[in-house]
Amino acid sequence: MPGKVHENIRKLRFELSLPNQAMAIINYRIDEAGRLVLLHTEVPAEFSGRGIGSHLAQGTFEIIGETCRQAILRCPFLQMFFRNHPEYAGIVAG
């Protein structure tokens, strides 16, 4: 399984480093209430189907929870992930 998810605040995204210098990312913006609006999840095609997106989503949700923030899910993949992981209900707003 890949490593740890990190937040790159400067680029407004969560990142997961992969082999061969590849990276999976979740882009976000911050709304007027300070919530993270999770916009898009991107996993390189060569890593598709290996659970990378789910690992990235889990790590992202954990970081958001640990930092006492809330998220709005605009990314269809993250919406689907959340439907299967209701344990993150405390961080998802709307």
Per-residue pLDDT of 38-85, as tens digits, reads 999 999 999 999 999 999 999 999 999 999 999 999 999 999 999 999
Q: What is the DSSP letter of 22?
A: -
Q: What is the DSSP letter of 34?
A: S
Return d(Cα 62, Cα 28) in angstroms, integer. 15
Return d(Cα 25, Cα 8) in angstroms, integer. 10
Return d(Cα 4, Cα 89) in angstroms, integer. 22
pLDDT at 11 (0 to 100): 98
CB 43 within 8 Å of CB 52: yes
Confirm whether pTM is higher than 0.85: yes
Which domains are assigned to the chain? 6-88 (3.40.630.30)
Burial (CB count within 10 angstroms: exposed 0-12, middle 13-18, buried 19+), residue 39: middle
Please report which confidence band the pLDDT of residue 1 belongs to, taking 50, 70 and 90 as the band edges: low
